[in-house]
Amino acid sequence: MKHIAILTGGGDCPGLNAVIRSVVKMASQHNIKVTGIKNGFSGLIHGKTLRLNLQSVSGLLHRGGTILGTTNRDNPFSYACKSGEACIYVDKSQDVLDHLKQWEIDGLIVVGGDGSLHIANQFAALGVPIVGVPKTIDNDLSATDYTFGFESAVTTAVDALDKLHTTAESHHRVMLLEVMGRYTGWIALQAGIAGGADVIVIPEIPYDIKKIITAIKKRRSLGKSFSIIVVAEGAKALGGSYTIQRLVEGSPDPQRLGGVSHHLANDIEALTTLETRVTILGHLQRGGSPTAFDRLLASRYGTAAVQCLLDGKFGCMTALHGSEIVSVPLASAVGELKTVPIHGELVQTAKNLGISFGD
Residues that bind ligand F6P (CB under 6 A): 11, 72, 113, 136-138, 180-182, 233, 248, 256-257, 286
What is the end-to-end Cα distance of the chain in Å, rounded? 54
Active site residue 145: no
Strand boundaries in 203-315, DSSP class E: 227-232, 244-247, 255-257, 276-280
Nearer to ligand F6P, 49 or 156 (CB): 156
Give CA torsion, residues 327, 330, 336, 341, to 10 deg: 10
User: Angle between the 260-272 and 209-221 helix axes, to the nearest 10 degrees?
Assistant: 50
Is the Cβ of residue 138 or residue 151 nearer to ligand F6P in the bound state? 138
Phi-psi category of residue 31: left, alpha or beta, with phi > 0 → left and psi -120 to 50 → alpha: left
Beta carbons within 10 angstroms of residue 59's beta carbon: 10
Which of 212, 259, 208 has the alpha carbon at shortest distance from 238?
208
Tell me which residue has its CB nearest to ligand F6P. 180
Give the nearer residue to ligand F6P in terms of CB position, either 227 or 243: 243
Closer residue to ligand F6P, CB minimum distance, 233 or 294: 233
* CB closer to ligand F6P, 49 vs 116: 116
- Among residues 138, 140, 198, 294, the one annotated as catalytic is 138
Rounded Cα gap, residues 124 and 316, in angstroms: 9
> Least distance to ligand F6P from the beta carbon of 45, Å?
19
Q: Give the nearest distance from C-beta 278 to ligand F6P in angstroms.
A: 17
C-alpha 156/C-alpha 39 separation (Å) is 25
CA distance 159 to 319: 28
Active site residues: 138
